[in-house]
Amino acid sequence: MHQQLPNLEKYNLGKPNLEKLSLPQLVAQMFVVRASGYLFDHQIQYPAWEPSREQLRALVADLGVGGVIFLGGSAAELSLRIQELQSWAEIPLLTAADIEEGVGQRFSGATWFPPPMALGAIDQIDSALAGNYAYQMGAITAQEAQAIGLNWLLAPVVDVNNNPDNPVINVRAFGEDVATVTRLTQAFIRGCQNSPVLTTAKHFPGHGDTAVDSHLELPVLSHSPERLESLELVPFRGAIEAGVDSIMSAHLLIPSWDAQYPATLSPGILTGKLRQELGFEGLIVTDALIMGGIANTYGAKEAPVLAVEAGADILLMPVDPAGAIAALVAAVETGRISLERIHQSVERIWQAKQKIFSVVTPKSVTPKPEVNLALYLAQPQSLAIAEEIIRKSLVVHGNLSRSCDKNHKTSPQNNLAFRNLLYTDEAIDCDFLSRQAPAITIPKSLNYQLQIIDNYSGYIPDLEGTSQDLTATLRQTLLQLFIRGNPFRGSAGATNTAQKLVKILLQLEELQALVIYGSPYVYQQFRELLPEALPSIFTYAQTPLAQAVALETLFSS
């Protein structure tokens, strides 16, 4: 089923009449801008990046940008948001989102899968089962995306995460093994191909072996050409073989290939390696140009020009969209970039849009007010797949019979003796915690008293003084830690704070059980601190569903 949008005959998508478009209109098609998924301006969460409704209308209707990338809101309201934007656009828009863990990762109400690395863990035990899960995850994600109007999945991540200290890829990757990553990448992409949406392999040529977050500064990948060829490039070759529609560049400096420019701005990497050597004919899209790895050095106007010179077709999230369009137009008018080069990218964009928009069926899933999205999103079979992945990748250690003193379940006089201590690096606007989150409600039903700590709470645990006062009246603690690699802030600070908590509770003999949601690398660090018999559970996901599975496992023994 394909989406029905205006002006298809006028522009004859797939066979563009480029003479109908002015140079600024052609250039604008190469830009994808950021927008809030919420309906109203007062709901905007990131005002530095997300334009107001009127500003967005000017970008779409007046400048004619080629697409929009969304973050935030519910799936239902995003569908209305996309309808409005498409109605403003003279040429149908690419509508994108970073939905590596399903549509529900970014937009509430849809299916939220565990991170891809959970599939990698399953692959180590049963590769056929993991491949099936990856395929179904791709198929469900694509179907739900199309149902709400998204037509471009900025997924999957095909980086090989072979650096445990990676602050930005981490569990977003399918794993640490190149064969596993390649196999699951291909399965995910093929699952997506059941729906007319675009897929994206990222971050070329491989962001897995870095310890620097390119959202903040420019990482350097100091490997030899031989190593890059035998490891980093392998999953991208697999993605191309599977028919991936687009490939996203990484903001990385790779001296053995280009000592001057990062991959996003390197002709030798984007054109030489990706386009010519690997033979990729689809869309090359930059990672967000607002990221520090590029913006800090090259600025708002020069970076887009350099990216196009390097071979990029689509410029994602420019710092200043209008200024960037003007800069690229000027580069063509002065002869720095040829008009033919712009035509090449626009033709590729047209081909991609042809896949999305060319066929219209009588029953389009393009959302309309009368369509019940409940028939498309978070269906029981989709949630069942997510739960199966969580259960199959769950790690359990220690003596679970120690995790629950049966007496305190029914003895109100023991209420103060049991504490549910939750730690997350940021409790503000936390997608996975609410009053009804299982991490809160299940222990509450067992008479645990809730305490939440994050980096904003003002309490940094210490082995002396306040720690003794804090725990003086509480004898047993269930400690739940929500820690994974987070773009812009990593996880090192959260891990250090959480380690102090564990050491305090162990010293006071008050740690009853430990549950970690997120990074397996963090879990391994904590396992080394724990007595062998102390119950511990690890799950890759932080979702409410993962919380329910982990705690039911803990307390069912």
State how far the Cα of 352 lies from the Cα of 521, in Å rounded to an integer: 38
Q: Look-up: residue for tokens 């600025």?
A: 299
State how far the Cα of 462 lies from the Cα of 500, in Å rounded to an integer: 7
| Element at 440 (helix H, strand E) | helix 438-445
Contacts of 318 (CB under 8 A, 6+ apart): 31, 33, 289, 290, 300, 303, 304, 324
Q: How far is residue 210 CA from its own chain's centroid?
A: 17
Contacts of 220 (CB under 8 A, 6+ apart): 212, 252, 253, 254, 255
Known catalytic residue: 203? Answer: no
DSSP summary character for residue 514: E
Buried b (16+ CB within 10 A) or exposed e, 524-536: ebbbeebeeebbb
Q: Phi and psi dihedrals of 140, rounded to 5?
A: -70, -40
Instruction: Tell whether the torsion through CA atoms of 122, 101, 166 and 541 is positive or negative.
Output: negative
Q: Which long-range contacts (CB under 8 A, 24 or more apart) does 327-331 make?
A: 327/301, 327/302, 328/27, 328/30, 328/304, 329/23, 329/24, 329/27, 331/305
3-state secondary structure of 418: strand
State how far the Cα of 76 lies from the Cα of 358, in Å rounded to an integer: 25
State how far the Cα of 135 lies from the Cα of 185, in Å rounded to an integer: 9
Known catalytic residue: 343? Answer: no
Strands 395-397 and 536-539: antiparallel
Q: How far is residue 380 CA from its own chain's centroid?
A: 23
3-state secondary structure of 420: strand
Annotated catalytic residue within 213, 287, 313, 425: 287
Bridge partner list, 285: 248, 314
| Element at 127 (helix H, strand E) | helix 127-148
Total number of residues shown for the chain: 557
Annotated catalytic residue within 207, 215, 223, 408: 215
Output the CA torsion 397→451→545→523 (10° steps): -30
Check: CB of residue 208 under 8 Å from CB of residue 292. no
Q: Look-up: residue for tokens 């967000």?
A: 288
Strands 418-424 and 476-483: parallel
Q: Phi and psi dihedrals of 291, rounded to 5?
A: -70, 145
State how far the Cα of 320 lies from the Cα of 290, in Å rounded to an integer: 9
Contacts of 270 (CB under 8 A, 6+ apart): 204, 249, 263, 264, 284, 310, 311, 312
Catalytic residues, by residue number, are 215, 287
